[in-house]
Amino acid sequence: VLVVAATSRKDILDPALLRPGRFDRQVRVDVPDKVGRQKILRVHARGRPLDEGISLDDWATRAVGFTGAQLKNLMNEGSMLAARRNASTINDQDLRLAFEKIVVGLRKDEDRRDDLTKRVVAYHETGHTLTGIYAAAHPNVSYVTIRPTTSGAGGFTLFEPMGDGEDQLPTRASLKDRMMVMLGGRAAELIIFGEDGTTPGASQDLAQAQDLAKSIVTRWGLSDIGPLGGMDGPQSPAMADMVEEECLKLVEEAQEMAVACLENHREELDMIAESLLKDETITGEQVLVQVGMKEAPEATKVPVEDPPLVVAAEESA
């Protein structure tokens, strides 16, 4: 008798199940790497008419972390979007919109928010965008929008994957930069609207920053309290207080870094926010041109890249 079982939560299994003679042969199945994603996309692209400009290799790079089912869904959604516009082929824009739907949800057809809410979201997303641009160790901005989505995001900023899209070995500096970008939206709200004008739109950003800070302290041993690791389980009250204090310090430092960055680039903050209020969506290339980091090519409002790293403002922003 051969018994086969599968789980995505091995950590909560009864150890008795894994003893020799029971489920002692274990096969770990991770999400596909870049080569795997390329092969999966080619399988699901068979029989689908693609524009000549589409590079499945590029999409394999962008779709970091996607499972096989998500890659299949990407091609299916792209096909449906092409069919809706009565096109004979799937173009890159179809796949971009399909990617966006999978990652952050569909954009709403109508935006009924008042002008103040739109202004808050514009500055919030500009905060993420500019801190991402000026951070030394952070992926480039793909595009930023203040169009709300059906998932509840009031706007979002997408970043390009670094390198070939595979996991990079993070350093303490790059992790702190990442945390700063997470809090860039809240920092922009503080600068423009003051303490009393900040919104709950940064709640998701704060949760992500706190989770990252906890990993820095308790998993990777990269904080000032020393080389601690493997501390996901119960802790003594004294140790728990020390960890909580260190995590709070890291988050506060990241917010201070974000505020300092945006105050040093206040003119760019206002400029990009106004562009978002006018056009709703601008590409990373357009942002670089406006801040003087790149020469102006022929402008386009079509998003250039759709990477997996997403920093989103919530609808309440």
Active site residues: 125
- Which amino acid is residue 103, in one-letter code? V
Helices (H), the chain: 34-45, 56-62, 68-84, 92-104, 115-134, 172-182, 184-193, 203-218, 237-264, 266-279, 284-290
Q: How far is CA 86 from CA 54, 201, 225, 254, in A?
A: 18, 38, 60, 48
CA dist 147 and 279 (Å) reads 10
CA dist 317 and 310 (Å) reads 16
Which residues, including other chains, have CB under 8 Å from residue 79's CB and lie 6 or more apart?
48, 90, 94
Which residues, including other chains, have CB under 8 Å from residue 310's CB and lie 6 or more apart?
103, 104, 156, 157, 158, 159
In sequence order, what are the beta bridge partners of 149?
107
- Which amino acid is residue 66, in one-letter code? F
In sequence order, what are the beta bridge partners of 156?
145, 312
Q: Which DSSP state fits 50? A: B
DSSP-based helix, strand, coil % in the chain, nearest 5: 55, 10, 40
